[in-house]
Chain A
Amino acid sequence: MSTAATAIAQPTAAPNPTQHPRLRRLSKVAGALYLAIFVIYPLSTLVRSSLVVPGDAAATADNIRAQETLFRWGLAGEATIVLVEVALAGVLYALLRPVSRSVSLAGALARVAEAVVMAAGCLATGVFTMVALGDSGSLAAFDADQRNALALFFQEANEHIVLVWGFFFALSLLLTGWLVHRSGFLPRFTGILLALAGVGYLVQSFGTFLAPDLADTWQLVVLVLAVPGELIFALWLLTRGVDHVNWSAAADRARQSQL
């Protein structure tokens, strides 16, 4: 059997839940959180794209006013993702710390940074849109067309903010992929897939900034590269978890190297 095949096959041995119940719980929580993001994020995006009409401020404003509840659910979905990302950063840090404490910390920080940018960008633009289209009177100096234009401006700004948090997310995935690949307690191929997902997000963010005419291509790249990696990693954590023997060995090595 080749070395690579051995490396993949090794961790597939079913972990013994009685020996490391906390570890097993931790990996299940990580998988569940990852799966939650996998489902909630595209649904939130779908809500936005069903209501926002690129370039047509009046239609966008009419849609958001008419479907305010749906729009608010979209915002709630994004807020949930922000919270889940922060929690996931902590869980993955704890899970991957035995491989490299500094890299695991960097990966977690990148993920938290992504969540912060997402909160500051996506959520803020959503809230500002609601203010622009609301009856609060704070924008009474603007006429209806101007308020509509403002709402569309916030929504179109969000399209670009996605690319900004994409940088941090890409970094987080690349580092997590490296950690998983090196870990020995998770299959190497999931690490490679995660790193590929990171490359996808990086290509999308840089690509759209540098070659906006090819934005459709970049979006396809991220879809093709990111979905398999993130889904498989989430399902592996949820159903198989980590190899407790190798995880303990890695944790011991990490403790010794600290001493």
Chain B
Amino acid sequence: MNAVRRAGRWAVLYATLVGIVMIGLAAHAGSYLFGFTQPSATASQDADPMLSHAAPGRHPVGIRRIGPDDAPVAMTVWYPASDSTDSEPATRYSYSLTVLGTQTATALATYPGVARHGVEADLAGGPYPLVVLSAGFAISPASYAWLAEHLASHGLVVVAPQHAETLDPSTLWRSAIDRPEVVAQTRAHVETAATPGGDLAGLVDPKTVAVVGHSYGGYTALAAAGAQLDPDAFTSGCATARADDDPIVFLCDALQPHLDDIVVARTTEPEPVDAVVSLAGDAAMFGETGLAAVTAPLLVIGGTADHDSPFDWTTRLAYESAASRHKVEVSLRGAGHFVFTGGCDRTRRILRLVTTGFCDDPAWERAKARAVTQHYVAAFLLAELTGATAARTALTDPAEPSGVRLRSAEPSR
């Protein structure tokens, strides 16, 4: 009996030891894999003459963070600056997901920017049109700084609110309610700050507004432009998707049980917008009828190999359904979902070893996809918000950069 008891004790001891060793080995592997790589050498990208608006604009860029104590929602502002000296070091951004909590951004990668903190705004050329930038679900606004800086250099003020989310699909429905409200709060805050004596006085014109968003931020942009939820269309679309085993089923599972809650919660109509840009933006919940409520000029860009927000359910659906008189569709052949997110100059090692899609794309070099996106978004917004002729010409150029397919509907003159 004693022998059995002793054997049992040894078994427990050895099992404990093995457990501890396994934890130690996993911790060592985790510590290495979640560490950051050194900055990668940036290959100089030859400028594509077809992408005239991919070149930075004439303005230096400033950046300001507005904390939750100073506004209804924390936000980051990129603006045209007058200071062209290098007195302040340029900002480095992180491409992050809020995994551990709404206030905790777990960085996947970091990348260099050009904006300088708190530098003087160039009020001489202002006030500039406002662009509200809505990030993807649980993705930090800084993940889109490469685009925000680009737009600010072209004379736009970009304000990106921080959506209070964690990477939990069961809260997607809650975000569907909160996000349009956050955009409204952001616009209201900017409007107040733009009044004489305000922090943004003379810098931003809150009456000339575009909303830009990626992924769930694309849903946000479309909702902010008046798109109406259509539970019946979504339910019917989800039934088809389930039969076809389409990846959009993920969104169906997350939203369908709460569709009524989302519809009931949306009580206020959004303020009008002057332009909308949806980058792989979720649109399935609006259906064709709900999207027909969008009348503002619309630019949609998406990757045809996007398995997170499939092209047919996002970019194509929005383009073909919106009632906008001027709309443009840019399809990136073979591109995935995260080709629109932050730079991957320094990444966590695991992203170099495992294909996750966050920093790798099946078909596109990140720099090239960014150049295409920068070109079309800047040209579209400058054309719609400032009436810039060169920008409009760039949009109507029938020549397509390689890997890009362009469709547009122009208003009859």
Interface residues of chain A, those whose CB is within 8 Å of chain B, are 35, 38-39, 42-43, 45-46, 49-51, 53-56, 58-59, 62-63, 65-67, 70, 144-145, 212-213, 215-216, 219-220, 223, 227, 231, 235, 238-239
Do the beta carbons of A67 and B32 come within 8 Å of each other? no
Give the shortest distance, in Å, between B102 (CB) and chain A (any CB). Answer: 8
A216-B349 contact given A39-B27, A59-B140, CB 8 Å threshold = yes
Which listed segment binds A: B17-25, B213-221, B317-325, B379-387?
B17-25
4 additional contacts, CB 8 Å, given A38-B28, A63-B106, A213-B38?
A: A42-B24, A49-B36, A54-B110, A223-B28
CA distance A46 to B34 in the complex (A): 7
Q: Which residues of A contact B8 (CB under 8 A)?
A: none
A144 & B67 in contact (Cβ 8 Å cutoff): yes
A-B contact pairs, 7 of them (CB 8 A): A50-B100, A51-B104, A53-B110, A55-B110, A56-B142, A63-B103, A66-B104
Minimum-distance CB pairs A-B, first 8: A55-B92, A66-B103, A42-B27, A42-B31, A39-B24, A53-B107, A56-B94, A53-B94
The answer to whether A43 and B94 touch across the interface, beta carbons within 8 angstroms, is: no
Asked if A59 and B28 make an inter-chain contact with CB atoms under 8 angstroms apart, the answer reads: no
Contact A227 B25 (CB under 8 A): yes
Q: Does B96 contact A (CB under 8 A)?
A: yes
List which B105-119 residues lie within 8 A (CB) of chain A. Answer: 105-107, 110, 112, 117-118
Find the B residue at minimum CB distance from A235. B21
Q: B101 within 8 Å of A by Cβ?
A: yes
Separation of A31 and B119 alpha carbons in the complex (Å): 57
Q: For the complex, what is the distance from the CA of A46 to the CA of B30, rounded to whole Å? A: 7
Pick from B27, B102, B104, B112: contact of A43, CB below 8 A: B27
> Is the CB–CB distance between A63 and B105 below 8 Å?
yes
Instruction: Please determine whether A223 and B24 come into contact, CB atoms closer than 8 angstroms.
Output: no
Q: What residues of A have a CB within 8 angstroms of the CB of B31 in the complex?
A: 42-43, 45-46, 49
Query: B108's closest neighbor in chain A, by CB?
Result: A53
CA A42 to CA B20, docked complex, whole Å: 13
Q: Does B187 make an interface contact (CB < 8 A)?
A: no
Does B28 contact A54, Cβ atoms closer than 8 Å?
A: no
In angstroms, Cα B32 to Cα A55, docked, is 19
The prevalent SS among residues of B at the interface is mixed
In-complex Cβ contact of B32 among A66, A219, A238 (8 A): A219
In the complex formed, the residue of A with least CB distance to B102 is A66
A227 touches B349 (CB 8 A): no
> By DSSP majority rule, is chain A's interface helix, strand, loop, or mixed?
helix
A62 and B94 contacting across the interface, CB-CB below 8 Å: no
A219 to B103 Cα, complex, angstroms: 30
What residues of B have a CB within 8 angstroms of the CB of A227 in the complex?
25, 28
Closest-by-CB residue of B relative to A239 is: B17
Q: How far is the CA of A66 from the CA of B17 in the complex (A)?
A: 34
Residues in B neighbouring A39, C-beta threshold 8 A: 20, 23-24, 27
The smallest C-beta distance from B146 to any residue of chain A, in angstroms, reads 14
Interface 0/1 of B1-41, CB less than 8 Å to A: 00000000000000001001101110110111011111000
Q: Contacting A53 at CB < 8 Å: which of B20, B105, B117?
A: B105
Residue among B21, B32, B34, B100 with the most chain A CB within 10 A? B32
Decide yes or no whether B174 CB sits under 8 A from chain A: no
Min CB gap A29→B, angstroms: 15
Determine the distance from Cα of A213 to Cα of B37 in the docked complex, in whole angstroms.
10
Q: How far is the CA of A235 from the CA of B21 in the complex (A)?
A: 9
- Docked-complex contact B67 and A56, CB < 8 angstroms: no
By beta carbon, the residue of chain B nearest A67 is B104
Bound Cα distance from A26 to B144, whole angstroms = 57
- By a CB distance below 8 angstroms, the chain B residues around A56 are 92-94, 107, 110, 142
Q: Which B-chain residue is minimally distant from A215 (CB atoms)?
A: B38
Q: Which residue of chain A has its CB nearest to the CB of B22?
A: A39
Residues of A within 8 A of B366 (CB): none
A35 touches B110 (CB 8 A): no
Contact A231 B103 (CB under 8 A): no
CB distance from A133 to the nearest CB of B (A): 13
Write the nearest CB–CB distance from A70 to chain B, whole angstroms: 8
CB of B346 within 8 A of chain A? yes
Instruction: Across the interface, name the chain B residue whose C-beta is closest to A143.
Output: B118
User: Which residues of chain B have C-beta atoms less than 8 A from A53's C-beta?
Assistant: 94, 96, 105, 107, 110
Chain B residues, Cβ within 8 Å of A223: 28, 32
Q: Which residues of A contact B346 (CB under 8 A)?
A: 54-55
B76 to chain A, nearest CB (A): 9
Chain B hits for A62, CB < 8 A: 103-105
Contacts of A35 in B (CB 8 A): 20-21, 24
Minimum C-beta distance from B289 to chain A (A): 41
Residues on B with C-beta less than 8 A from A70 are 100
Out of A50, A65, A212, which one reaches B106, CB within 8 Å? A50
Q: In the complex, A46→B365 CA distance in Å?
A: 30
B65 within 8 Å of A (CB atoms): yes
CA distance A163 to B100 in the complex (A): 29
> How far is the CB of A122 from the nearest CB of chain B, in Å?
14
Tell me, rounded to whole Å, the shortest Cβ–Cβ distance linking B297 to chain A: 33
- Given A46-B30, A56-B93, A65-B103: A231 and B21 interface contact (C-beta under 8 Å): yes
A54 CB contacts on chain B under 8 angstroms = 36, 92, 107, 110, 346
Tell me how far the C-beta of B138 lies from the nearest C-beta in chain A, rounded to whole angstroms.
14
CA distance A132 to B356 in the complex (A): 36
A144 cross-chain contacts in B, Cβ below 8 A: 67
Interface string of B71-105 (1 = CB under 8 A from A): 00000000000000000000011101000111111
Chain A residues closer than 8 Å to B67, beta-carbon distance: 144
- Smallest CB-CB separation from A226: which chain B residue? B28
Contacts of B92 in A (CB 8 A): 54-56
Measured CB to CB, the closest approach of chain A to B7, in angstroms, equals: 16
Contact between chains at B24 and A38 (CB < 8 Å):
yes
